[in-house]
Amino acid sequence: MTSTTLRVLIIDDSEQDAALVVRALTAAGYDVRGLRLSTAESLEAALHADAWDLAVADYMLGAFSGVAALMIVRHHDPDLPFIFVSGTPGEDAAVAAMKSGAHDYMRKGAMKRLIPAVRRELREAAARKERRRVDARVAHLAYHDALTDLPNRTLLHDRLAQAIRAAHRGSASVALLVLDLDGFKEVNDSFGHRAGDRVLQHVAARMRGLVREVDTVARLGGDEFALVLPSTDVDGAARTAGKVLQEIEHPCEVDHRQLSVRGSIGIACFPDHAKSADLLLQKADLAMYLAKSDGVGIAVYAPRRDRQRRRAAEPSLR
């Protein structure tokens, strides 16, 4: 039967006692890769140098205590199983050890308890890590688009609001670009939604590759995307918009077919066109519709066109 490799930190100032731990684990079928150490410095170095499955420590280590070792381990890895195997007698030591966050405490004369404790703690550590992984994934999906892994509308709004606050403090500008794809419906209708999804992923990857680390690319939903560009004025936004349109028009291959789409982009800037995230999104969205209806590819928000649109909509609204 293949043995399970177990990487163990043995925090003990006695080579003989450390060997007892290794022999007990080996007899239980583990392939032990152990490292004995007895100082805070060597423990810190070991934790940074490698990944470990288990820590076994004496409670009293002369100038360096087992509880201090536990605190160092917990700071580095909250899930690493930590078991005291100690020569220190008395219930008080055991209670203090468990209160400090150890998973178990046993006397060196009662090593029969070690293997069941190790197996239990390895199972529970794996379960804790899986719960953390699932929780992190759920939190990520709350703020990211599942198809493209871009920030979603909620996270975009938060990033945009942060950029506006920073720009207000520094008397800088923020540009918001809203992109809508032209011809995307035809891709879905002709080749199916799987092909459409691949095109959206292609557009997302192309946009991500064009921007700076401080910028945010987001998917608003459907075939609509957005770009937040801190410290960028209208001219800079227009240059970026041109690069985006040029880049996304490059075909992507789906099932041995070359598929391509075009786009229309609307631009609105803080503080010229709006001073809040909600209004900036509204203005950029309007500019995008103007770019699409006029067939010009890129449009900057124009208050005059906005007033014309509102007057045209009043009869139907009434």
The residue ranges of every structural domain in the chain are 4-141, 153-317
Q: Is the omega angle on the peptide bond into residue 89 within 30 degrees of 0, that is, cis?
A: no
Q: Which of 203, 198, 210, 243 is nearest to 225 (CA)?
A: 203
Segment (H or E) for 194: helix 193-210
Identify the pLDDT of residue 86: 81
Give residue-wise pLDDT tens across range 31-50. Answer: 999 999 989 999 999 999 99
Give residue-wise pLDDT tens across range 216-231. Answer: 999 999 999 999 999 9
Q: Give the contacts of 299 (CB within 8 A, at least 6 positions apart).
A: 264, 265, 266, 267, 287, 288, 290, 291
Identify the pLDDT of residue 297: 93
Neighbours of 130 (CB within 10 A): 10
- Can you tell me the distance from the alpha carbon of 318 to that of 315, in angstroms, rounded to the nearest whole number? 5
Report residue 190 as tokens.
């002709």
CB 248 within 8 A of CB 203: yes
pTM (two decimals) = 0.72
Residue 318 pLDDT level (bands cut at 50, 70, 90): very low
**What is the architecture, at CATH level 2, of domain 4-141?**
3-Layer(aba) Sandwich (3.40)
The residues assigned a catalytic role are 223
* ∠ Cα 78 80 84 (to 5°): 110
Q: What is the residue-averaged pLDDT of the chain?
A: 89
Helix (H, G, I), strand (E, B), or coil: what is residue 30? strand
CA distances from 136 to 71, 75, 131, 150, 251 (A): 24, 19, 8, 16, 35
Question: What's domain 153-317's superfamily in CATH?
Answer: Reverse transcriptase/Diguanylate cyclase domain (3.30.70.270)
